[in-house]
Amino acid sequence: MSGEKKTRFVGEVPLKWFVLLHLSLVVNSLAGTASKLAGRHKFLSFGFLFWYFMMLLITMAFAVAWQQILKHMSLTFAFTNKPITIIWGLIWGVSIFRETLSWKMILGSAIILVGIIVGVSDTVDPDAKPGTKGQGKLSGTSRETEVEA
């Protein structure tokens, strides 16, 4: 909708940071997979320690990214997107652990997606936003606080 040269937004967040948020959430969901793999092994066995370490490693990578991502959006925005990790977890569960997929999981996933889309799409029009460069820090947040439905 907006002009080609303008930064595109999802909700109040520049598209770039929205994509990075979702990449980080994929990484985050893999941490769950690693801890699940750890749980398959005896507590403190080699297998357990390996996957627990992997989980910490993935979590750390996520943590580094997360702190950057949070500079560019409100915490409520970031957290409204987070349940996507449940759907990623389902995808890893089915593909890696051969977990069975129930219709409730599919329906639940669909509703979660609808919830995310509804929760994330509230915004003022992009033209009302101040410049897009270097908006990350404080200004990004104060801009967010002015958004009212």
Helices within 40-133 (DSSP H only): 46-69, 75-81, 84-96, 103-120
Least distance to other proteins from the beta carbon of 5, Å?
A: 28
Give the burial string for 43-68 (b: 16+ CB within 10 Å, else e).
eeeeebeebbebbeebbeebeebbee
Least distance to other proteins from the beta carbon of 3, Å?
A: 25
Residues from 19 through 58 that contact other proteins (CB under 8 A): none
Backbone angles phi, psi at 23, to 5 degrees: -60, -45
Residues 7 and 15: beta-carbon distance below 8 Å: yes
Q: Which residue, 6 or 71, has its beta carbon nearer to other proteins?
A: 71
Q: Which of 40, 95, 101, 115 binds other proteins (CB under 8 A)?
A: 115
Q: Which of 8, 16, 22, 82 binds other proteins (CB under 8 A)?
A: 82
Q: Which stretch binds other proteins (CB under 8 A): 21-29, 93-101, 104-112, 127-135?
A: 104-112
86 counts as binding other proteins under rule CB under 8 A? yes
Least distance to other proteins from the beta carbon of 71, Å?
A: 5
**Torsion 107-79-30-18 (CA) sign:** positive
